[in-house]
Structure formats: C-alpha cells, structure tokens
Structure 1
Amino acid sequence: MPDDRARQEFAVDLAEAEKAVADSLPAAAEYIRAPIGTLTAHEGFGAALGHSPAANSAQTVYAGFTDYLAGRLSRTAEVTEATADALADILALYRRADGQG
C-alpha cells in the first residue's frame, strides 16, 4: 500500500493529466488545424501574371505542396485528439483502480 506522500504525488500527476485532456491537447489540435484552410485555399496568381506556363506550373506545384502540408497537419491534429482520448481512458482506469470511479 503506498504511503500518503506517494498518493499525493500521484494525485497531482492525475490533475495535470486531466488538464492536458481537457485543455492542452484540444487547444493544440485546434492550433494545428488553424492554417489548414489557408493552405488549401489555392487562390492562385490570377491575371496578375497572365497565363504564363511557368506561373501555371508553379501554382500547380505549390498547390500540391500546400495540400500535402494541410494533410500532414490534419493527421497531426487527429493524433493529438486520439492522444487526449487515450489519456482520458487511462485516467478513468486509474480512478477505477484507486476506487475513485
């Protein structure tokens, strides 16, 4: 049976983990997703550069690159949310094991 000091230290860790589940990880996922709309907007150069083959090629390559970045950011946000969900499950397990829930 752990002593009282060990229980207090463990409770502090659980409280910090709960903050991560409720606040930090969801906020991180939100910040990670924030630029996705801008990256996938693909506004292009329009008439500013005319219909230059080089400009058209650059636009196409850039659109592919920004789509790739947006996809990576989206996946990172999904993993961040999955981490929060897994941590919530771990916390629930610890609470049950400790007789708290």
Structure 2
Amino acid sequence: MTSPRESFETDLAQLGMVGGWSLPYLAHLLEQEAGRYGSYEGLGAPGGYAGLAESDFWDLTGELRDRNRRAIEVVTATAEALRDVVSLYGRADGQG
C-alpha cells in the first residue's frame, strides 16, 4: 500500500472545470458585487458633509470594496494557476 505522498491521482477534467469555469464565474459574481459599492440612494456622497454614522458607513464600504477587489485578484490568479497545473499534468500523463 502506498502512502498519499508516494502517489498522486486527480481528475483532470474536474480540475479543468474548476479552473476554467467555476472560479472564473465566482470572480464574475464578485465583480458584479464590487460595482454596487458606492451607489446607495439616500446617503450623502462620500467625502461630503455627513454625520458620523454615514462617514463610518462609507469607510466600511470602501474597506469592503477593497477586500472584494483583492478577492477577485486571488480567485482569478488561482484559476489561472489551476489551469496551468491541469495543462502540465495533462501533458505529463499524455491526456492533453
């Protein structure tokens, strides 16, 4: 019996789907959400005169927008890396 470190098996088709469709779709959904930050009716514009609650709200919204953008970058980079891994293993196994 081999240990998990002695052999490596994976479903390249499934990994290809994750890298080629699932993660890019997740990035797309995150991009849609990112476009909504900063467009709220009934609140003053960021940087204008606003009460403390509105100022805190805009600070939080900016932080969430920035985190969302970073998540998009990470998901996109992960999808690209996974596609590269699938291509590499596919060539090594004669599957691609």
Instruction: Measure, in 1, the Cα distance between the counterparts of 2:52 and 2:40.
Output: 13
Instruction: Measure, in 2, the Cα distance between the counterparts of 1:37 and 1:28.
Output: 15
Instruction: Measure, in 2, the Cα distance between the counterparts of 1:36 and 1:94.
Output: 34
Task: Report the RMSD for the aligned CA atoms in angstroms.
Answer: 2.1
Q: Bigger shift: 91-100 or 33-42?
A: 33-42
Larger radius of gyration: 1
Which consecutive segments of 4 or more residues in structure 1 shift more than 6 A?
Answer: none
C-alpha contact (below 8 Å) 2:23/2:76 kept by paired residues: yes
Match of 1:50 in 2: none
More helix by share: 1
Paired residue secondary structure (1:38)? coil
C-alpha contact (below 8 Å) 2:12/2:90 kept by paired residues: no
Paired residue secondary structure (2:84)? helix
Q: Which structure 2 residue ranges, 5 or more long, are not aligned?
A: 1-8
Q: Which structure 1 residue ranges, 5 or more long, are not aligned?
A: 1-8, 47-52
Deviation at 1:56, TM superposition (A): 2.1
Match of 2:25 in 1: 27
Aligned residues: 84
TM-score by length of 2: 0.73
C-alpha contact (below 8 Å) 1:25/1:81 kept by paired residues: yes
